[in-house]
Structure 1
Amino acid sequence: VLGLRDIQLSVPEAVGVGSSATLGCRWALDVGETLYTVKWYHGAQEFFRFVPKELPNTRVFSQTGISVDVSRSGAQQVVLRGVSRGLSGRYRCEVSADAPFFHTVYKSANMRVV
């Protein structure tokens, strides 16, 4: 199967209130494919996007309680600052390859804020 593969997600199982959380997402692209986007979701809501062909290549979407450390976030990780209990829940990394294939894969995991 062509496309994106071997997606690996690293989300801390539990983090303390007020601390930072680093969420990681790695993948493999087949020869001839390039990255189109990486999107991060908390529940059903997108809160961070990385698009290598855009400038700036990162975009943060406002979501209550989420503070993204943009200087430490990019294609393969997003760093959340000062997490609160409301940020417990499911996080999803969605990776899409560029034209002509536009393959998309995703993986999700739970994080608890304690």
Structure 2
Amino acid sequence: MTALTLARCLQLTEITVPEVVDVRETVTLSCTYDMGTHKLNSVKWYKDEREFFRYSPMMPKSLMFFDVDGVTVLQNSTVQFCNQFMCSIQLHNLNIRSSGSYRCEISGDAPEFKLTHGVGNMTVAVQVTIKIYTVRSQMNAFIATGVDYG
């Protein structure tokens, strides 16, 4: 009888990118993954195909940030957390150029260097709150007494 070992594949299990956000907000992007039998080489975040963040746990400098127009990673955030199972980062100072396609790419280590990724689209807008005031009570007082209380 032969023992059969099933190799578990590298897979992205979830990506979270908010669809519509207010320009004044700080947003969290996250992805979770199952490394299977692979060791994590890196997690990279891209906006519109341009890399802006890299987590490489086996490198001396495990976190790297790259300049991309419209993307500002909140560094030293308590929410920013990456490990063998998930990676979560925050973006702040949003503007209209922050809108776009965000991709989380997971890379396994040697010898295979397997890759997987997930994509989410985010639109940055200015959400306006309109306050509607009623003047009914002042109007009723004027009609009843003929005196303007406004």
Shared fold (TM-score greater than 0.5)? yes
Mark the runs of 5 or more structure 2 residues left unpaired by the alignment.
1-6, 126-150
Return the TM-score normalized by structure 1. Answer: 0.91
Calculate percent identity across the aligned residue pairs.
33
- 1:12 maps onto 2:3 in alignment: no
Mark the runs of 5 or more structure 1 residues left unpaired by the alignment.
none
Partner of 2:96 in structure 1? Answer: 85
User: Among residues 107, 110, 114, which one is paired with 2:121 in the alignment?
Assistant: 110
RMSD of equivalent CA atoms: 1.4
Larger strand fraction of residues? 1
Contact 2:43 2:104 in 1 (8 A): yes
Aligned length: 113
Contact 2:72 2:93 in 1 (8 A): yes
Equivalent-residue separation in structure 1 for 2:30 and 2:36 (angstroms): 20
Higher relative contact order (CA 8 A, sep 6+): 1
Contact 1:85 1:113 in 2 (8 A): yes
Which deviations, in whole Å up to 9, do the C-alpha atoms of 1:27-49 show, x marking residues without a partner? 00113x21000010000111111
**What is the CA-CA distance between 1:81 and the residue it aligns to?**
1.0
Return the TM-score normalized by structure 2. Answer: 0.70
Larger Rg: 2
Q: Which runs of 4+ in 1 moved over 3 A?
A: none
User: Among residues 94, 101, 104, which one is paired with 2:105 in the alignment?
Assistant: 94
Which deviations, in whole Å up to 9, do the C-alpha atoms of 1:44-98 show, x marking residues without a partner? 1111110001132110001122211121334211210121111111100000011
- 1:60 maps onto 2:71 in alignment: no
Partner of 2:135 in structure 1? Answer: none
